[in-house]
């Protein structure tokens, strides 16, 4: 029975190989430098799984910084998308800044678009991540677009946000998670 | 945490999780050993392992062709007994024994007590056997605790990523779970939810055996819980696939159990078979484990196609609460485009064609604020689609233009109109099932009567109903037609398509999709004269053009193929094949198709001509039942037939 399955599947595999793209069923690619799909590979194992105990350094060019996932002994550098846990448990509960940086990194292309448009669900989610009131935050992002989104570097965008939010009287008062 | 304990369905256990961290004395363990024997006897008396819930926790699916229990899990570490994969009884007894073991004095840093490693089983057994926490030591599980505290979900959706507009290979789709965060203290935002995804771990360096390995279970499949926004970027923006979410009706308690199950399976792997033990099938098994009364896996007969599993879930009474749609970047472009007037479309075309910042600024001078807003919003979706833009990647071809458009867009100070939530296609659960069986009866014009029997395990062609699929895409797999000829008393294989792929995407302004067709297989009768009664194997690939008219209800296509063939009479032959066709959707219930195929096949001695044409009227009774009237003329041998087609 097992051999039958193997032969059958090999046969079909040959056919598939001739024509179908490899993403018929989503598969995860591992470790292609700079391939954005790494994001998933980093999440492999998911939060709270074996990765809870992984303490290895990984360099992820996509993030633009070497990220360390030291779940048990704490972070040495901010970021969350590393092996497992951090992008999950830690990214929302550990420190606001980690969560903010990861969020901006993964969603930057959507955020820059929505900020220019003054509305959108990623922008609202970012308002959440910053603990700001949605409506005002969207308007604020659009008005200060040039100052905040001058670059495509996530960490700079984050710093710009923190700076602008804290120099705006209303925002500084109403955003509860923007530690600058 | 406070919220957690209120809703937590296992108050006793929570109490003990939070309970003493003081290591119990060996006396307690000795007592608990006596107690565990008692418990095991009780479990044996109740035949607890026969309960569906237990089998489901072990990931034993309901196989259609086999009543032997066999877990999906490939990892031995998922089982506490040697025979755990096939022996639920032994596994239950060993599990109970393991729960009573003492924690080592100096545990390895990765040590997890079985109670902490298998919390879903633990909770279930504690409830079923009413295990007394005073007689057995309940372990504190800090890591698990952290995990559970963090999750705190309040809803679960099955998410299906639909096909790409020009990618027939993506018709099969992909499924994963969206885990809705508790919204008590958060605003409603899908973006901040999580996703649980099961996928094969495939090395980036793919060798030529890649597909075979995938089918033969050569890759491990693992679960990952990641922020949902990662999956949104991946499918909506990178691959440009719409996401359909099916919110499932699960109770708080079932969701809690699901969280524990995710923890249990997160440690292990399952050999990933593309055809059956794939993402879709495993997701069904997870749902059954969380809610054992669901009967999902038994609906998957031989192979699991993700879109089929979506239909299985939708057919289950009272399971799907709500269907939502999340537009891909391509769909967003179409939607933004649809509100532009002729003048605005012209401007858009100029902007993206020239891709020139200076020129763009001068173009906008003749455009008021709203017009500018609408055009830029459309152009941005176009650029992001073309660039497959995600994350913090830079746009390559349109980098400067995108920057400029964003700045101009922000300057207008206008808020974008919300996107009309109008999906470009029907939800996938409305599509027909994937396997086709068809029976036809007919006669040639010379008076020969015949019956045709056709079987195709997957998936879709443009003769079928396009509801839930795309008119433009077809994938046929192992499509087999047998003919029984009554007059000449013979049965023979008329057609066999190993793999046939059709892609006739509509031409969208500023996007030029490729129209193409690939076919490989065997046919009986491939030309005039002698060839009309001979068979050949063939391979053809062609490119062409598709035109959509009358609100996309009429499709005209023409494709020029290069055709390679081999038959015993001519040996190898090669030549061009021109296919011309028309597809007219008359209404929801009728479709009319006219096709013709003209070919010349050259081989060593001479050439063979072939002309085929067919008229076909299809009527759709319901989702899975269709009728067809055909008139087919193959190389001057006309015939008429009536077919009943059924999908299952």
pLDDT of res. B65: 80
State the pLDDT at residue B38: 92
Q: How far apart are CA A102 and CA A79, in angstroms?
A: 6
Summarised one tens digit per residue, pLDDT across range B177-220 is 999 987 654 456 788 898 998 887 766 566 667 677 777 777 88
Residue B70 has pLDDT above 60, yes or no: yes
Which B-chain residues 257-286 have CB contacts (< 8 A) with chain A?
262-263, 266-267, 273-275, 278-280
- Is the Cβ of A103 closer than 8 Å to some Cβ of chain B? yes
Option in B192, B200, B415 nearest A119 (CB): B415
* Average pLDDT of chain B to the nearest whole number: 89
The residues with which B583 forms a beta bridge, in sequence order, are B555, B593
How far is it, in rounded angstroms, from Cα B548 to Cα B456?
28
- Chain A CA closest to residue B196: A46
Confidence of residue B548 (pLDDT cuts 50, 70, 90): very high
Of A21, A24, A27, the CB nearest to B199: A27
Q: In this predicted model, what pLDDT tens digit does every residue of B79-120 receive, in sequence order?
A: 999 999 999 999 999 999 999 988 888 888 778 899 999 999
Tell me, yes or no, if B196 comes closer than 8 A to chain A by beta carbon. Answer: yes
Task: Report pLDDT for B406.
Answer: 96
Q: For chain B, which domains are there?
A: 27-103+112-139 (no CATH), 150-326 (no CATH), 336-412 (no CATH), 431-647 (2.40.160.40)
Residues B293-338: pLDDT tens digits?
A: 999 999 888 888 899 999 999 999 999 999 999 999 999 999 999 9
pLDDT in tens, A125-174: 999 889 899 899 999 999 999 999 999 899 999 999 999 999 999 999 99
Residue B279 has pLDDT above 90, yes or no: no
For testing contact with chain A, the best of B230, B238, B329, B414 (most A CBs within 10 A): B230
- Give dist(CA B595, CA B483) in Å, integer: 21
DSSP notation for chain A: -HHHHHHHHHHHHHHHHHHS-TTSS--EEE--TT-TTHHHHHTTT-TTSGGGG---EEEETTTTEEEE--TTT--SS----SSSGGGTHHHHHT-HHHHHHHHHHHHHHHHHHHHHHT--HHHHHHHHHHT--HHHHHHHHHHTHHHHSSSS-HHHHHHHHHHHHHHSHHHHHH-SS---
* Residue-wise pLDDT tens digits, B491-509: 999 999 999 999 999 889 9
- The residue with greater pLDDT, B364 or A78, is B364
A55 close contact with B: CB closer than 8 A: no
pTM of the model: 0.85
Q: Is residue B163 a contact partner of residue B50, using CB atoms and an 8 Å limit?
A: no
Is A65 in CB contact (< 8 Å) with chain B? no
């Amino acid at each position: 029975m097992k051999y039958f399955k193997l032969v059958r599947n090999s046969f079909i595999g040959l056919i598939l190989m001739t024509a179908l793209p490899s993403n018929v069923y989503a598969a995860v690619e591992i470790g292609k430098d700079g391939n954005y799909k790494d994001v998933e590979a980093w999440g492999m194992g998911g939060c709270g799984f074996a990765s809870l105990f992984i303490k290895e350094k990984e360099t992820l060019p996509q993030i633009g910084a070497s990220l360390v996932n030291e779940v048990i002994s704490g972070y040495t550098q901010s970021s969350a998308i590393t092996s497992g846990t951090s992008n999950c448990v830690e990214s929302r509960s550990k420190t606001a800044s980690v969560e903010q940086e990861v969020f901006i990194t993964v969603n930057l292309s959507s955020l820059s678009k929505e900020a220019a448009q003054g509305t959108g669900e990623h922008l609202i989610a970012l308002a959440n991540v910053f603990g700001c009131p949605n409506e005002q935050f969207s308007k604020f992002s659009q008005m200060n677009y040039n100052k905040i989104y001058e670059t495509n570097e996530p960490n700079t965008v984050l710093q710009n946000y923190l700076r602008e939010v804290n120099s705006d009287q209303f925002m500084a008062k109403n955003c509860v998670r923007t530690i600058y | 945490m406070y919220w957690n304990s209120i809703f937590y369905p296992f108050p006793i256990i929570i109490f003990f999780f939070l309970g003493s961290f003081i290591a119990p004395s060996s006396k307690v363990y000795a007592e608990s050993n006596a107690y565990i024997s008692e418990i095991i006897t009780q479990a044996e008396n109740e035949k607890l392992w026969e309960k569906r819930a237990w089998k489901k926790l072990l990931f034993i699916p309901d196989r259609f062709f086999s009543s032997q229990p066999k877990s999906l899990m490939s990892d031995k570490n998922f089982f506490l007994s040697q025979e755990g994969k096939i022996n639920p009884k032994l596994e239950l007894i060993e599990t109970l024994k393991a729960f009573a073991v003492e924690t080592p004095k100096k545990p390895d840093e990765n040590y997890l007590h079985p109670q902490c490693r298998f919390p879903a089983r633990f909770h279930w057994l504690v409830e079923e056997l009413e295990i007394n926490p005073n007689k057995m030591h309940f372990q504190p599980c800090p890591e698990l605790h952290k995990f559970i505290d963090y999750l705190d979900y309040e809803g679960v959706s099955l998410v299906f990523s639909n096909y790409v507009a020009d990618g027939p290979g993506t018709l099969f789709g992909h499924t994963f779970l969206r885990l809705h965060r508790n919204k008590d203290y958060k605003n409603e935002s899908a973006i901040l939810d999580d996703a649980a995804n099961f996928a094969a771990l495939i090395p980036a360096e793919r060798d030529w055996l890649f597909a075979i390995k995938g089918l033969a279970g050569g890759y491990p499949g693992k679960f990952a819980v990641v922020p949902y926004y990662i999956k949104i970027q991946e499918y909506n923006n990178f691959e440009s696939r719409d996401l359909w979410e099916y919110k499932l009706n699960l109770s708080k308690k079932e969701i809690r159990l699901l969280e524990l199950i995710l923890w249990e399976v997160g440690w292990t792997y399952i050999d990933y078979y593309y055809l059956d033990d794939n993402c879709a099938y495993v997701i069904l098994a997870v749902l059954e484990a969380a809610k054992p009364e669901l009967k999902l896996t038994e609906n998957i007969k031989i192979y699991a196609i993700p879109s089929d599993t979506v239909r299985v879930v939708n057919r289950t009474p009272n399971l799907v609460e709500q269907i939502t749609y999340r537009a891909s970047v391509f769909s967003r472009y179409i939607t933004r485009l649809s509100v532009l007037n002729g003048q605005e479309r012209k401007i858009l075309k100029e902007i993206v064609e020239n891709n020139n910042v200076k020129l763009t600024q001068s173009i906008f001078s003749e455009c008021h604020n709203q017009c500018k807003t609408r055009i830029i919003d459309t152009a941005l979706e176009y650029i992001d689609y073309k660039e497959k833009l995600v994350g913090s990647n830079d746009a390559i071809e349109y980098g400067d233009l995108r920057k400029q458009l964003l700045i101009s867009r922000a300057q207008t100070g206008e808020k974008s109109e919300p996107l009309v939530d109008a999906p470009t296609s029907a939800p996938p659960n409305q599509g027909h099932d994937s396997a086709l069986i068809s029976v036809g009866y007919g006669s040639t014009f010379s008076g020969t009567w015949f019956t045709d029997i056709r079987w195709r395990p997957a998936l879709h062609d443009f003769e079928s109903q396009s509801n839930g699929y795309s008119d433009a895409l077809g994938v046929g797999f192992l499509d087999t037609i047998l003919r029984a000829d009554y007059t000449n008393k013979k049965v023979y294989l008329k057609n066999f398509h190993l793999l046939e792929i059709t892609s006739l995407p509509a031409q969208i302004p500023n996007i030029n999709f490729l129209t193409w067709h690939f076919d490989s297989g065997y046919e009986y009768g491939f030309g005039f004269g002698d060839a009309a009664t001979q068979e050949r194997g063939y391979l053809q690939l062609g490119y062409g053009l598709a035109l959509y008219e009358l609100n996309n209800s009429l499709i005209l296509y023409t494709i020029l193929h290069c055709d390679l063939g081999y038959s015993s009479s001519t040996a190898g032959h090669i030549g061009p094949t021109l296919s011309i066709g028309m597809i007219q959707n008359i209404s929801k219930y009728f479709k009319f198709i006219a096709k013709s195929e003209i070919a010349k096949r050259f081989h060593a001695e001479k050439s063979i001509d072939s002309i085929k044409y067919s008229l076909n009227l299809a009527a759709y009774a319901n989702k899975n039942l269709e009728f067809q009237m055909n008139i087919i003329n193959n190389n001057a041998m006309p015939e008429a037939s009536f077919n009943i087609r059924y999908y299952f």
